[in-house]
Amino acid sequence: MAPYDSNCGTQTDIKGIVAGTPDADRAVRYLVKYLNKSIAEPFADDDADAAYEAHIDRLHCELRWLPCSEQCSNWLRYGVQPAGAAEGMVPGSCPKKHHDREHLGLGGRRCLVSRKWTGKTLKRHKADRAQVVKEALLNYGYVAPEIERLSAEVLADDGKPRYLWTPKQANPATYSRIIMRGIQEKRLWISQYSEAKTFQAAVERQARSELKTNAPVINSATPP
């Protein structure tokens, strides 16, 4: 008896994605890349009305004259010399993509390239940065400030919020004193951190210099 052939059509191999696998990482990279590839699409709706288009045009016009970087020629409008200034720079003629209608101020990448992903949350990045600043201050002899001491998220020993913030109309004189005190405190922190970084850089330069000085001399000449 002759065998029979059965044709079932095109086959599709559907595979799931398991978290933590190379396939999952690759899939996420492609999603992030292509979902952020063109930021112009939300501003280019074919059914947009005239008022919407006029709004985008106004944003585009404003961004033409705003500085996009230290090298932007638009700084000349404000009497500021751009970094790397050259002859022929004219405000409003910066060639960078920040000023294009299809970017609207967002030049370059809209997402960090996948090879530089750390897997950390923003909260973790903030904590790491705070630790770097704290160590620099302690090495120079400064006590790191408790920046979050008045935060609504700070808890007391009983586990309840330490402070309860409620809207209240402050006295103008008291409000001004509080704002000025906060500005002075922030300026002090910036000054202390700047001193600490300068000190740390000097220590690192000295360590590199000593290492270079004490490095053994290798004679590569061929012995007789």
What is the structure's pLDDT at 184?
Answer: 92
Q: Of the given ranges (27-41, 79-93, 158-172), which has the lowest mean pLDDT? A: 27-41
- Interatomic CA distance for residues 155 and 157, integer angstroms: 7
19-23, 46-50, 91-95, 143-147: least confidently modelled range: 46-50
Q: Which residues contact 151 (CB under 8 A, 6 or more apart)?
A: 163
Residue 1 confidence (pLDDT): 54
Q: Is the pLDDT of residue 204 over 70?
A: yes
Cα dihedral 140, 143, 146, 147 sign: negative
Would you place residue 23 in the very low, low, confident or very high pLDDT band (cuts 50, 70, 90)? confident
Mean pLDDT of 181-205: 90
- What pLDDT is attached to residue 117? 67
Query: What is the three-class DSSP state of 161?
Result: strand
The pLDDT of residue 74 is 92
Burial profile 162-175: b = 16 or more Cβ within 10 angstroms, e = fewer: eeeeeeeeeeeeee
Contact at 8 Å (CB) between 154 and 161?
yes
> Distances from the Cα of 47 to the Cαs of 38, 42, 44, 55, in angstroms?
18, 11, 9, 15
Name, of 98-107, 168-177, 197-206, the range with top average pLDDT: 197-206
